[in-house]
Amino acid sequence: MRDVRVTVLGSAQDGGVPQPGCSRECCLRVRANDALRRHPVSLGIVGSDGSTHLIEASRAMGEQFEIWHSVDPMEGPLSSLSVTHAHLGHVDGLGLFGKEVMGASHLTMHCSQSVADLIENNPIWRALREQGVIVPNVWSSGEAFEPSPGCGFRIRPIPVPHRDELSDNHALLIEANGGNLLFMPDHDSWAETLGEASIREWLATLEVDIALLDGTFWDEQELPHRDMSEVPHPTVTESLERLGERETEDPDIRFIHLNHTNPLCNPDSSEVAELAASGWALASEGDSFTLERL
C-alpha cells in the first residue's frame, strides 16, 4: 500500500496560457518561453492501491498525462473521472476518451445530476455513454464518496455558487486520513460562498490542509474592455485582503485557474513578488502533495 498522492496537472483558466487568438504581450511572452505555458485546471490522484483518478476533462489531457507520468508513472487505464461543472475547460476533453483516441471502456464519471443531464442532452457526449465509454455516476452534494473501491481516499463535493447557465458547480474536498486537499477553481464571490465566515474559518471547518483556490483575475481592472460582472470570480487582491499574511498554523493556500491576462502568469511581475511576500503561493503544474492513506 502507498500514500495517496495528488498532482496538479493544470493551473490555468479554461482558455489556457497562452490563450488562442490572443496577440497581447501577456501571451507573446509565453509563446517565446514554453516553460511559462499553463494548461486548464486539472488534478491527477493516485490512490493507496495504485488506482488513478482524474479531476476535470481538459482538451490538454495529452500534455497533462505527460506531467502526471513524470511524477507518478501510470499503469493501466484510469479508474475514475470527476468533473466539477460544465464550463469549457473542465469538460471539453471528454471526447478524448472515445474510440478515436483512448478508447476507454466503462470509465466511471463522477458528477452532479445537472452535469449528467447535460451529457444526456448533448448528442456527442450521450454517444460516449451509449457506447460504454463513460458511465456517469451522480454524487450527492456534501456527501463523501470513494471514487473506486479500496482507493484509500474520498471526495466530498461541496456546492459553491458559480454561473449556472449549463450546470451547477462544486468544489471538491479530497479526504485521506490526516490530510485534506480542497480543489476550488471556480466560484462567483467570497460573500456568496462563505456568508459571514472568514476564509480561515471556512477552511478550518472543512479541516483543509492544502487549498487550491480560484485565482482567475488579479484585480477588477484586468479586463478594461469587458464588464467583469459577466465573468464573476473573486480577485486575488480581494482574497489577499481577506487573508492578510500567512500565519504559522494556516493551511497551504495556492492560487489556480489563472486567466491569461493575470500578471501572476509572469514570474517577473511585481504581483508575483507581492503574493510571495504575503506567504501564499501559486500552484504550478507538477506540484505534488502526499496525503496519508486511510
Averaged confidence pLDDT in the chain: 92
Model confidence at 88, in pLDDT bands (50, 70, 90)? confident
pLDDT at 231: 67
Model confidence at 219, in pLDDT bands (50, 70, 90)? confident
Enter the pTM of the model: 0.95
Task: Give the pLDDT confidence of 36-56 residue by residue, as tens digits.
Answer: 999 999 999 999 999 999 999
Task: Give the pLDDT confidence of 122-153 residue by residue, as tens digits.
Answer: 999 999 999 999 999 999 999 999 999 999 99
Q: Residue 167's domain spans which residues? A: 4-291
In this prediction, residues 150-169 reach a mean pLDDT of 88
In this prediction, residues 233-237 reach a mean pLDDT of 91
Please state, for a pLDDT cut of 70, what percent of the chain lies above it. 96
Pick 217 or 277 by higher pLDDT.
Answer: 277
DSSP character at residue 227: -
The x, y and z cell numbers of residue 123, run together, are: 448528442
Of 54, 67, 60, 128, the C-alpha closest to 288 is 67
pLDDT at 293: 45
* Residue 294 scores a pLDDT above 80: no
pLDDT at 169: 87
Radius of gyration of the chain from Cα atoms? 18
Question: Which of the residue ranges 14-28, 155-169, 193-207 would you say has the lowest mean pLDDT?
Answer: 155-169
In this prediction, residues 175-191 reach a mean pLDDT of 90
Neighbouring C-alpha atoms within 13 Å toward the C-beta of 161: 12
Domain count, the chain: 1
* Residue 217 scores a pLDDT above 70: yes
Q: How far apart are CA 185 and CA 208, in angstroms?
A: 15
Model confidence at 191, in pLDDT bands (50, 70, 90)? confident
Q: Positive or negative CA dihedral for 273, 241, 194, 169?
A: negative
**CATH for 10:** 3.60.15.10
